[in-house]
Amino acid sequence: MYLAVRGRRRPEALRDAELRLDWLHGHLRLTWQLFPGLVCDADGLWTWPGRPWLPLAVSLRAVRG
């Protein structure tokens, strides 16, 4: 994963910022239509048509240490 730290994009950004990845979640559905090809499901959320194959968003928690 690439994060920007002090203007640098590199996979070591968490380590350089002295952060440890606690968890990372991929989200297959969104509340908005990010791409034109997404479809609205029965819950009113946007997802890939057919079987979801790629997360549309991620959330993470990084902690010092």
Q: Which of 4-8, 17-21, 39-43 has the highest mean pLDDT?
A: 39-43
Categorize the per-residue pLDDT at 27 as very low, low, confident or very high, splitting at 50, 70 and 90.
very high
Return the pLDDT at 65.
Answer: 79
Average pLDDT over residues 46-53: 93
For residue 11, is pLDDT > 70?
no
For residue 5, which phi and psi values (nearest 5 degrees)? -130, 120
3-class DSSP state of 15: helix
The candidate with the shortest Cα–Cα distance to 29, out of 2, 50, 56, is 56
Contact, 46 vs 30, CB < 8 A?
yes
pLDDT-based confidence at residue 7 (cuts at 50, 70, 90):
low
**Residue owning tokens 């559905």:** 29
DSSP summary character for residue 48: -
Strand partners, 15: none
Q: Is residue 10 predicted with pLDDT exceeding 90? A: no
